């Protein structure tokens, strides 16, 4: 806004002052000295006004930017939202939050009202509730940008990352329900226990395995992967371990022994990686009814994955690899 006002002034001065000076030159030429003096005065006045207002605009703008940069990120986002909506685009939104009391092992629903603008995420709304209305509300988060995978919860019935869920996008009849993830043991309110999830992940021995662990110091040519090689496993390496796929999976929810979509997608990730030297070991370990063959291809895992990892697809590829293995053995 300020920048455009400054530009209007700049253009007005750049065009107006030369015109005035040109007219003055003509009037002097024809001997109209009074007119010439008035025109000169107007041109000078224009320059002075431009100088003073321009300086003030730049000074205020600089101060504004300085104050803005000094604000915490959350306030910067709020301010940007208000600027975009002219300070008007806010709505009162009803939140119904499931609270788990870890001492008495009871659940209850708590209703809150928050003022949201079009930039408000469910996570920022919950933090707003926690700072202004109820400081006992337990929420887990870290990065606030869909990277750490800490803020998974069930929002309007769908496992989602709270920091990536916009309140306005989720508003059905002005009400948003927030529950802790179903598939993980509850700790407090919206915070769940991830031990079991990480155990499943670790059970497949994640990590690229090389026979010679010190090869990078041996001075040998580094092992190179082509773009094609990388593309085979790259989509599966985007997993941020948020646990949403496990939460959405109907098989894990009915058979806790099933290893689950996240771990299986990581088996495929390393199996498809040419630089991994573990061979078929991981693949054969999940060649069981609670491994690959436990998947009923409901596809819910891929639908909720915030990173597009497609665990359901990875599991089908693993099945394909195992079938190839069986076919080879039969031929042999
Ligand atoms: S596969 Fe997707 S949904 Fe599952 S843990 Fe990884 S990022 Fe989350
Ligand atoms: S806070 Fe990190 S993914 Fe949401």
On whether both 200 and 233 belong to a single domain, the answer is yes
Atom of ligand 1 nearest to the CA of 159: 3
Highest mean pLDDT among 19-23, 58-62, 88-92, 297-301: 297-301
How close is the Cα of 257 to the center of ligand 2, in Å?
Answer: 28
On whether both 162 and 183 belong to a single domain, the answer is yes
Atom of ligand 2 nearest to the CA of 163: 4
On whether both 205 and 320 belong to a single domain, the answer is yes
Chain centroid to Cα 30, Å, comes to 70
On whether both 182 and 199 belong to a single domain, the answer is no
The answer to whether residue 57 sits within a structural domain is yes
Angle formed by the axes of helices 261-271 and 311-331, nearest 10°: 60
On whether both 230 and 290 belong to a single domain, the answer is yes
**What is this structure's pTM?**
0.72
* Total tally of structural domains belonging to the chain: 3
On whether both 57 and 137 belong to a single domain, the answer is no
On whether both 133 and 152 belong to a single domain, the answer is yes
On whether both 203 and 305 belong to a single domain, the answer is yes
The answer to whether residue 85 sits within a structural domain is no
Look up the CATH number of the domain holding residue 260.
1.10.1060.10
The answer to whether residue 286 sits within a structural domain is yes
Residue 309 CB burial class (10 angstroms; 0-12, 13-18, ≥19): buried
On whether both 176 and 205 belong to a single domain, the answer is no
Look up the CATH number of the domain holding residue 106.
3.10.20.30
Sheet architecture: strand order including 152-155: 106-116, 91-101, 175-179, 152-155, 158-161
Q: Is the CB of 151 under 6 A from ligand 2?
A: yes
Report pLDDT for 38. Answer: 87
Report pLDDT for 82. Answer: 65
Atom of ligand 2 nearest to the CA of 143: 2
Report pLDDT for 80. Answer: 67
The parent domain of residue 175 ranges over 91-188
DSSP per-residue string spanning 257-295 = TS--HHHHHHHHHHHT-TT---TTHHHHHT-STTTGGG-
Query: Which of residues 70, 104, 119 is at a domain's end?
Result: 70
Question: 52 or 187, which is more confident?
Answer: 187
On whether both 63 and 111 belong to a single domain, the answer is no
pLDDT surpassing 50 at residue 48: yes
Nearest ligand for residue 311 CA? 1
The answer to whether residue 220 sits within a structural domain is no
Report pLDDT for 143. Answer: 97
pLDDT surpassing 50 at residue 178: yes
With cut-offs at 50, 70 and 90, classify the pLDDT of residue 236.
very high
pLDDT surpassing 60 at residue 1: no
pLDDT surpassing 60 at residue 85: no
Nearest ligand for residue 237 CA? 1
Report pLDDT for 292. Answer: 97
The answer to whether residue 109 sits within a structural domain is yes
pLDDT surpassing 60 at residue 93: yes
Report how far residue 7's alpha carbon sits from residue 145's, in angstroms, rounded to the nearest whole number. Answer: 36
Q: 39 near 24, Cβ under 8 Å?
A: yes
The answer to whether residue 217 sits within a structural domain is no
On whether both 243 and 158 belong to a single domain, the answer is no
How close is the Cα of 62 to the center of ligand 2, in Å?
Answer: 33
Question: Ligand 2: which of 163, 178, 239 to mutate, judged by most atoms within 8 Å of the beta carbon?
Answer: 163
How close is the Cα of 229 to the center of ligand 1, in Å?
Answer: 22
The answer to whether residue 83 sits within a structural domain is no
On whether both 271 and 291 belong to a single domain, the answer is yes
The answer to whether residue 81 sits within a structural domain is no
How high is the mean pLDDT of the chain?
Answer: 89
- The pairs formed by 128-137 with CB atoms below 8 angstroms and a separation of 24 or more are 129/95, 129/97, 134/110, 137/97, 137/99, 137/189, 137/190
Q: Is the CB of 127 under 6 A from ligand 2?
A: no
Per-residue pLDDT tens over the stretch 241-258: 999 999 999 999 999 999
């Amino acid at each position: 806004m300020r920048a455009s006002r400054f530009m209007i002034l700049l253009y007005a001065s750049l065009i107006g002052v030369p015109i005035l000076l040109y007219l003055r030159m003509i009037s002097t030429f024809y001997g109209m000295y009074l007119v010439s003096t008035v025109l000169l005065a107007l041109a000078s006045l224009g320059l002075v006004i431009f100088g003073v207002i321009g300086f003030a605009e730049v000074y205020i703008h600089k101060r504004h930017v300085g104050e803005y940069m000094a604000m915490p990120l959350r306030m910067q986002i709020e301010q940007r939202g208000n600027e975009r909506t002219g300070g008007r685009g806010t709505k009162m939104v009803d939140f119904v939050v499931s609270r788990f009391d870890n001492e008495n092992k009871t659940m209850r629903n708590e209703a809150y009202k928050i003022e949201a603008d079009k930039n408000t995420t469910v996570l920022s709304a919950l933090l707003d509730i926690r700072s202004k209305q109820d400081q006992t509300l337990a929420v887990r988060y870290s990065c606030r940008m869909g990277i750490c995978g800490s803020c998974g919860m069930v929002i309007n019935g769908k496992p989602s990352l709270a920091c990536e869920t916009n309140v306005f996008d989720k508003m059905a009849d002005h009400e948003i329900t927030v529950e802790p993830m179903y598939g993980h043991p509850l700790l407090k309110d919206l915070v769940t226990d991830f031990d079991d999830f990480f155990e499943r992940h670790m059970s497949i021995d994640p990590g690229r395995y090389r026979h010679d662990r010190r090869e990078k110091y041996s001075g040998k040519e580094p092992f190179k992967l082509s773009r094609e090689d990388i593309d085979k496993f790259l989509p599966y390496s985007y997993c941020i371990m948020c646990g949403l796929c496990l939460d959405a999976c109907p098989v894990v929810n009915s058979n806790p022994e099933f290893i689950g979509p996240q771990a299986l997608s990581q088996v495929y990730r390393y199996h498809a990686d040419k630089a991994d030297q573990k061979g078929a070991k991981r693949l054969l370990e999940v060649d069981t009814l609670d491994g690959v063959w436990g998947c009923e291809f409901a596809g819910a895992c891929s639908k909720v994955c915030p990173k597009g990892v497609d665990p359901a697809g990875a599991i089908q590829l693993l099945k394909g690899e195992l079938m190839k293995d069986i076919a080879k053995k039969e031929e042999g």
